[in-house]
Structure 1
Amino acid sequence: MSPAGRVDPYPTYEQLRGHGPVVQAGPVFYVVTDYAEADAILRDARFGVMDDNLRDQFLPGWRESPAVLSISRSMLRTNPPDHSRMRRLAAGAFTPRRIAAMRDVVVAQADELIDGMLARGRAPVDFLADFAYPLPVGVICALLGVPAADRPLFRRWATDLTGILEPEITPEELAVADRGAGELRDYFSALVAARRRAPADDLTTALVQAHDSDGDRLSGDELLANLIVLLVAGFETTTNLLGNGLVVLLDHPREAATLRDHPEFAPGYVDELLRYDSPVQLTSRMSTAPARHGGVDLPAESWLIVMLGAANRDPRRYPEPQRFDPWRPQVHPLSFGAGPHYCLGAALARLEAQVAFPLLLRRLPGLALAGPPERRIRLTLRGYATLPVTVGDGEASVVDRGTPAGATGATP
């Protein structure tokens, strides 16, 4: 939980693992570090996210916090049947067919952003600001129907709000998260009103119509909460995946060269990048009934921190887990969770990364770090605050665009 531990949590994960796959860290408080146990708990119907009754016990006064209240009314922090009801309403935007149809949109946006990086010449650019943020925010905003002119607003709002997902938060950080939640809520209230006046072919309109046709399907609070979560989750984790992944690839030039020449290997590379330095490091669950996992008896109302980043480096699952190896078979990282709360946008995030990394390496063969990147001091959402790079001598012309044939191919 220290700043140094958040910058590099992996040594601490190994120390925890030495005490067993499920470690009791306090009264009815447990930490899960191994892959098999984490996967099983995330799929076990006896474990869910914190409900209102438990919030009243653990977080007195939570209803006074716009950030906690907003997150608690979304599918991210609800259990069946409410979770299932809300998820079904949004799932139509994330079907395999809809995701596959977005490939050309992702390629076009990525190419345009690379053009902008090339136009800067030899001057260093911040990869996060110039590529890793605008690509996924542009894609999710297109799905939601958010005007392009409004996209620059969301990075600070999301950074503020997602502080609430940390396992420990100070009153000052909570005030910042509340500010972000309030600004996002105001924005989406205005967008909902605009879509009522002028419906469009986007996810916001679909959710507004679901609410207006039958308030039992989606309440007003749920409508705004889910729009906020869909936006924030739609780019925050992908931004971190792109930033974390680029640093790993630049640290492994031989593997990067192979991906540049063989974009069909991108799916396997992206899964290994998700495993090696997961953009989401942990999630939490509460037990509704006694259970036993990892040789430990877990009483009802146990609180578990499931360390996804630790599970992704479990040596029982992944030999030499500290080694980046894009040729690992059957990676299946837990970076997007598992079970009922498996990330709705996981396939979209994978698509964006599978397009972006080969394209960046091919069009920017001189891409290199321009200085040490700066980590965000976060544990739940792991990523960089700044990532300075140079694009080389501009060998890749702005006319050399598009994903090569075969970029939709199989894993290594």
Structure 2
Amino acid sequence: MSAAATLQALHTEEGRRNPYPHYAALHATGPVAPLTGHYAAVVHGYDAVSRVLRDPAFRVLDAEKLGSQLPGWDEHPSLTVLMNSMMFINGEQHARLRRLITREFTARRVASLTYTVTQQVEHLLDRLAEHGGEVDFIKEFAYPLPSNVIGELLGVPVEDRPWFQPHVSAIGAVLDAGGENKFAVADKAATELSAYFTELVRQRRKEPRDDLVTVLSAAGEDDAPLTHEELLSALVLVFNAGFETTTHLLGNGLEVLLRHPDAAQRLREQPELAASYVEEFLRLESPAQLTTRWTAVDTEIDGVGVAAGSSVLVLLGAANRDPARFTDPDSFRPERLDNAHLTFSAGAHFCPGALLTITEAQIAFPRLLARFPGLALAGEPAYRAQLTLRGHTRLPVTVA
């Protein structure tokens, strides 16, 4: 099967549900395959993906590139919010925004949140115990945990956090294939989120608190504070990145554990293994499956030419299962010693919230297994109809 046909199969319902056989087919063709049409190539080999992510010649989708693909994009509030965030900016402007935001995601700040994470985990475990029987793990644990943690970090009131989840998800949905069909919902969500954060920023400037909204409201360097648009986009991005990836890591990881009861029992007995388990969850069932890059200059990737102005599809999930990089890549092996997956990207756009996501999962999984030794799947999971972010819409489990 050609690379183009394999990619087409990936965008079917079954392909989204189980992309891994299609990744294996791509690996059989080499690390990179040329394409015609929207993308000049698909990059799926580990080394090739790592190079593209780190090479400054390859840029993230930014306003310049989007303008050539979708004239009038700035009429959509959802795209405006995204394009003003550091996720979709290149060069010095990206470096400036990244410096301002990543200095707030230091190991020290994440460590200071450990108590908050532990408290939230125990609170949700108590709720699961009270509920008993069959529960939806995504709804009752995987969504509220990161939402509450990032809400505490930002300073979003507890009562407002459930309102955030569908709004942020709606904005992110426009990034997936076919996302242009979701503009109506996403634009409404972006408008409402911008209004909410505008008011919250006004309150924090009047009455500062020890939270990220207060800190970012005053952030700047060399007399160049964040603009209002940059600030709103940063807050939306932090909340989005703070709960979406973690939610799917928790759901994907739990399904893996429940389908490997011996491994689950080992983690239950040896909670100190949580770090290696979480890294293997991230490699095997990456929440982030793909990204894109484009180049303003003629270049090449492993001998495949990429002309200036062309885009390439970068399959993170495929790179994480490259047999040339990982032994027995389709198997769950938490004892892997060299497990440098690319789930959080690499280079200048490495995810600044990676440490917080990992910390939440390392705390949650051992406590979940210890609290409920009879935890088991209660039915077939339901999966998101997206390929960009891989995860569940529902994960039924029996709590015992």
Give the TM-score of the pair, scaled to structure 1. Answer: 0.91
- Secondary structure (helix, strand or coil) at the match of 1:81 reads helix
Letter matched to residue 75 of structure 2 = E
Change (3 A) 1:42 1:149: same
2:184 to 175, 182, 193: 175
Q: Report if aligned partners of 1:93, 1:143 keep a CA contact under 8 Å in 2.
A: no
Give the TM-score of the pair, scaled to structure 2. Answer: 0.94
Q: Provide the C-alpha distance between the structure 2 equivalents of 1:29 and 1:59, rounded to a whole number of angstroms.
A: 18
Alignment of 1:93 onto 2:101: no
Q: Report if aligned partners of 2:289, 2:316 keep a CA contact under 8 Å in 1.
A: yes
1:136 to 146, 149, 173: 146
Q: Provide the C-alpha distance between the structure 2 equivalents of 1:15 and 1:352, rounded to a whole number of angstroms.
A: 34
Q: Provide the C-alpha distance between the structure 2 equivalents of 1:80 and 1:177, rounded to a whole number of angstroms.
A: 27
Alignment of 1:1-150 (within 5 A): 1-27=11-37, 29-122=40-133, 124-150=134-160
Map of 2:339 onto structure 1: 331
Superposition deviation, residue 19 in structure 1: 2.7
- Secondary structure (helix, strand or coil) at the match of 1:192 reads helix
Deviations 1:328-382 (A, max 9, x none): 1210110100000000000100000111111100111111111111001011111
- Most deviating of 383-392 and 52-61: 52-61
- Most deviating of 336-345 and 292-301: 292-301
Superposition deviation, residue 119 in structure 1: 0.4
Alignment of 1:190 onto 2:209: no
Map of 1:205 onto structure 2: 214
Alignment of 1:285 onto 2:296: no
Map of 1:164 onto structure 2: 174
Letter matched to residue 280 of structure 1 = A
Letter matched to residue 47 of structure 2 = A
Superposition deviation, residue 218 in structure 1: 1.3
Map of 1:317 onto structure 2: 325
Q: Provide the C-alpha distance between the structure 1 equivalents of 2:326 and 2:192, rounded to a whole number of angstroms.
A: 42
Deviations 1:172-194 (A, max 9, x none): x2222222222211211111111
Q: Report if aligned partners of 2:376, 2:397 keep a CA contact under 8 Å in 1.
A: yes
1:297 to 305, 310, 318: 305
Q: Report if aligned partners of 1:90, 1:203 keep a CA contact under 8 Å in 2.
A: no
Q: Provide the C-alpha distance between the structure 2 equivalents of 1:285 and 1:363, rounded to a whole number of angstroms.
A: 43
Alignment of 1:256 onto 2:264: yes
Letter matched to residue 193 of structure 2 = L
Letter matched to residue 375 of structure 1 = Y
Q: Provide the C-alpha distance between the structure 1 equivalents of 2:337 and 2:300, rounded to a whole number of angstroms.
A: 30
For structure 2, the 5+ residue unaligned runs are 1-10
Superposition deviation, residue 214 in structure 1: 7.7
Alignment of 1:153 onto 2:163: yes
- Secondary structure (helix, strand or coil) at the match of 2:91 reads coil
Letter matched to residue 165 of structure 1 = L
Superposition deviation, residue 159 in structure 1: 2.0
Alignment of 1:365 onto 2:358: no
Q: Provide the C-alpha distance between the structure 2 equivalents of 1:184 and 1:230, rounded to a whole number of angstroms.
A: 13
Q: Report if aligned partners of 2:295, 2:311 keep a CA contact under 8 Å in 1.
A: yes
Q: Provide the C-alpha distance between the structure 1 equivalents of 2:271 and 2:337, rounded to a whole number of angstroms.
A: 18
Q: Report if aligned partners of 1:275, 1:334 keep a CA contact under 8 Å in 2.
A: yes
Q: Provide the C-alpha distance between the structure 2 equivalents of 1:216 and 1:97, rounded to a whole number of angstroms.
A: 26
Q: Report if aligned partners of 2:53, 2:345 keep a CA contact under 8 Å in 1.
A: yes
Identity among equivalent pairs (%)? 46
- Secondary structure (helix, strand or coil) at the match of 1:333 reads coil
Superposition deviation, residue 170 in structure 1: 4.0
Superposition RMSD on alpha carbons, in Å? 1.4
Deviations 1:214-272 (A, max 9, x none): 87331111110110010011100000000000000000000111111111111111000
Deviations 1:64-107 (A, max 9, x none): 11111110000110012111111111122211122122222211
